[in-house]
Amino acid sequence: MSQELLIETELEDEVQPWEYLNSANLKRGQKDFEKDDTQIQNSTLQDSLDHMYNALSVPRAHTVKQNVKAYYQDGQWRSELKGNFMQTMGVVRNDWCYLTEEEIIYLVERGTVEPIWVKNGQEVTMDLQSVYAMCATDLVRYQVYSNLKRCGYIVQRYTPRECATVRKPWYLPTMFRAVLRRLDILNWFIFPAFTSSWLKSKFLTYSSIFESIRLQFKPQRQAAPTYPLDITFDVWKPDPRFTKKSPPLPDFQIVIVDVSSTRFPTKNQLDDLFKRVEYQGRSQESLSEAQGGAKEKKRLKDGSNCVLFALVDNGVINYMRLSQGNLSSANVIPTKKARGPTQRTTK
């Protein structure tokens, strides 16, 4: 019973016994409900602890052959041009690969590069604690970064795309707009005589009537939020064809939120954010409107814009996906083939 109930929680939601680190497939370990002060319980706990400490004590090391040195000088990290990580990380300039703070901590932590402090032309190998001290200006950001990297994703700091054209809203002169608005109000009084759909329609089918009474949504113009949210990372699924120089549109975009200091985003903040998001598949979503069936359902469920929030509480990370539902664009009017009571199936 307890197993069935608990199976719903994620593996990562529970602290796992470290014995399972060495087993080929990671599975849920057995745990007890409460202390019974038996010898066997104490010794299994001690076993678990010993496994954990042993795993922690494995030195962070690589061979001379694999050695890549990263130098810290004038507040900047640069590494030799060597190693697989360069395919997705760093920026190459003047025969050096310049690394961001989260990139260098990650690479040092997993034992890929050797951090070097340069002083008067002499070199001293640094350690993990020193690297954290020198570059952890935002540890929450680093923790999300490394969590995603360990999952295998390609992660880079968010950069607004230059090539993307920002569609500027087209403004009519103010007076002309005012006149139009008046006409709009008129429509309500003499409805539906002045609407274009009424003039065109013959009202021979249900769908033409539905079409004529369909609500027209206009996007509301809003003031920019006082505290706009920032997109922190662009994230790509692992892809061997990925190039740093001309990355494709990211698969996801991530906003990092520290739960201790932030409230749920306001509608204003979200709208502003949705205007800026750019990821793969976003443009296709609006194109595939005409397609029906399962795809349509998925499109409605996924919404038109989406952004991932990484919520961080003292090193524990939760991901949350917020997207804009676009029910209004759904084609709900029954077509000739499928319409009315003839379609209804009885059970």
Report the residue from 178, 179, 259, 330 that binds other proteins according to the rule CB under 8 A.
259
Contact range with other proteins by CB under 8 A, out of 20-28, 74-82, 212-220, 266-274:
20-28
Beta bridge partners of 323: 306
Q: How far is the CB of 305 from other proteins (least distance, A)?
A: 26
Cross-strand partners of 253: 234
Cβ distance to other proteins smaller for residue 20 or 96: 20
230 binds other proteins (CB under 8 A): no
Instruction: Pick between residue 96 and residue 132 the one whose CB is nearest to other proteins.
Output: 132
Backbone angles phi, psi at 262, to 5 degrees: -125, 145
Question: Considering CB under 8 A, how many residues would be counted as binding other proteins?
Answer: 79
- Interface positions, 181-220, toward other proteins (CB under 8 A): none
Specify the stretch interacting with other proteins by CB under 8 A; choose among 49-57, 176-184, 221-229, 273-281. 49-57
Least distance to other proteins, CB of residue 43, Å: 11
- Dihedral of the alpha carbons of 196, 198, 200, 205, in degrees to the nearest 10: 140
Under rule CB under 8 A, residue 275 binds other proteins: no
* Span of 87-95, 187-195, 201-209, 307-315 interacting with other proteins by CB under 8 A: 307-315
Residues 116 to 155: which contact other proteins by CB under 8 A?
A: 117, 119-120, 122, 124-130, 132-134, 136-139, 143, 146-147, 150-152
Q: CA separation (Å) from 218 to 173, 214, 328?
A: 18, 13, 11
111 scored as a contact of other proteins (CB under 8 A): yes
Is 263 a residue that touches other proteins (CB under 8 A)?
Answer: no
Task: Please tell me whether residue 237 binds other proteins under the rule CB under 8 A.
Answer: no
Q: Does 83 bind other proteins (CB under 8 A)?
A: no
Q: Contact between 82 and other proteins (CB under 8 A)?
A: no
Do the beta carbons of residue 317 and residue 311 sit within 8 Å? Answer: yes
Residue with tokens 């060597």: 82
Least distance in angstroms from the C-beta of 125 to other proteins: 7
CA distance 59 to 55: 9
Interface with other proteins includes 53 (CB under 8 A)? yes
The residues pairing with 71 across neighbouring beta strands, listed in sequence order, are 78, 116
Reading the block at residue 104, the tokens are 């260098």
What order do you get walking across the sheet with 69-73 strand by strand?
91-93, 96-99, 76-79, 69-73, 114-119, 122-125
Asked if 87 touches other proteins (CB under 8 A), the answer is no
Instruction: Answer yes or no: are the C-beta atoms of 235 and 154 closer than 8 Å.
Output: yes
Is the bond into 334 cis (omega within 30 degrees of 0)? no
Residue for token digits 């104490």?
A: 42
Taking CB under 8 A as the rule, does residue 95 contact other proteins?
Answer: no
User: What is the C-alpha to C-alpha distance for residues 154 and 251, in angstroms, rounded to an integer?
Assistant: 10
Contacting residue, 24, 25, 58, 294, with other proteins by CB under 8 A: 58
